[in-house]
């Protein structure tokens, strides 16, 4: 029995290491375009899309000052040498620029998963809040190489599909695809794999993230990671984001900065008076 428990912990510890690689790009909300907004402009080329994405992410980063929410962490492991599962509910309070407070509401299931996967994820997220980490892994041309992979018309509006490969394969970087809203230049979806395998125990990892509109802002909706273990096991980790409450946002402050700087978006949708700046906020990650 002791050998079986030890083997289980080795496998799950490897999965825990992988879980720490969940995308921890800054959690930045992105405010949506009003329903009466004009139709999107003609399709842009790759460099124009990236310029808009970078610029608007910077602008939105200053707009969302504070929000609250609830996360439900779930993990199921099936395979050698034994199955494990757990769930943890956490309340989160974010305050700009880099403060997050986590309050654990409930814990059920495997204590090893709770302590070595869920709580390690929270610690990793706190680590990522440092300015150095955020600069290294933000979605910019400095950190990633991008290619245009398509343009899709969806029920939620047109979206650019971009392929990305990190220039530096650190523990927070990914390669895969992102979907960018053609109105707001906000990431609405991500699919990919870690840029580097964290362990020989793991054969393959698939990662998917989606975002939802909350009071006019795009915020994380669900993160899902599927890990395939070389010994035949399979681990599924999901994080569901619920009960959002935007408690403080300052689009007027951003509009003022735009007027002072005279910046304009590449597609020309930002006028000199900064009127579109009423629409923002922050984005992603983790």
What is the percent of the chain where pLDDT is above 70? 69
What is the rounded average pLDDT for all residues in the chain? 75
What is the percent of the chain where pLDDT is above 90? 38
pLDDT (0 to 100) of residue 278: 25
pLDDT (0 to 100) of residue 192: 93
Average pLDDT over residues 95-102: 87
pLDDT (0 to 100) of residue 200: 78
Q: Any idea where the domains of the chain sit in the sequence?
A: 2-279
CATH topology assigned to domain 2-279: outer membrane lipoprotein receptor (LolB), chain A (2.50.20)
Q: What confidence category does residue 29 fall into, taking pLDDT thresholds of 50, 70 and 90? A: very low
Q: What confidence category does residue 11 fall into, taking pLDDT thresholds of 50, 70 and 90? A: low
pLDDT (0 to 100) of residue 196: 81
Q: What confidence category does residue 184 fall into, taking pLDDT thresholds of 50, 70 and 90? A: confident
pLDDT (0 to 100) of residue 138: 79
Q: What's the token pair of residue 191?
A: 């699919």
């Amino acid at each position: 029995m002791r050998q079986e428990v030890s083997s289980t912990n080795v496998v799950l510890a490897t999965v825990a290491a992988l879980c720490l690689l969940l995308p921890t790009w800054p959690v930045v909300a992105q405010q949506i375009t009003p329903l009466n907004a004009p139709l999107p402009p003609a399709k842009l080329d790759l460099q124009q899309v990236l310029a808009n994405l970078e610029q608007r992410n910077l602008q939105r980063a200053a707009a969302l000052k504070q929000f609250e929410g609830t996360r439900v962490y779930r993990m199921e492991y099936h395979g050698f040498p034994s199955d494990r599962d757990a769930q943890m509910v956490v309340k989160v309070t974010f305050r700009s620029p880099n403060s997050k407070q986590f309050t654990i509401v409930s814990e059920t299931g495997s204590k090893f998963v709770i302590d070595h996967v869920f709580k390690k994820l929270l610690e990793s997220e706190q680590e990522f809040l440092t300015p150095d980490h955020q600069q290294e892994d933000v979605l910019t041309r400095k950190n990633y190489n991008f290619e245009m992979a398509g343009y899709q018309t969806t029920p939620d509006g047109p979206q650019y599909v971009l392929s990305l490969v990190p220039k530096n394969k650190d523990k927070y970087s990914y390669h895969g695809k992102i979907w960018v809203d053609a109105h707001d230049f906000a990431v609405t979806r991500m699919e990919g794999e870690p840029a580097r395998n964290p362990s020989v125990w793991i054969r393959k990892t698939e990662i998917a993230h989606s975002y939802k509109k909350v009071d006019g802002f795009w915020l994380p909706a669900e993160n899902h990671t599927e890990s395939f273990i070389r010994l035949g096991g399979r681990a599924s980790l999901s994080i569901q984001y619920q009960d959002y409450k935007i408690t403080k946002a300052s689009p007027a402050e951003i509009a003022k900065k735009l007027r002072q700087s005279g910046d304009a978006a590449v597609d020309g949708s930002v006028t000199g008076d900064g009127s579109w700046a009423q629409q923002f906020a922050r984005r992603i990650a983790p």
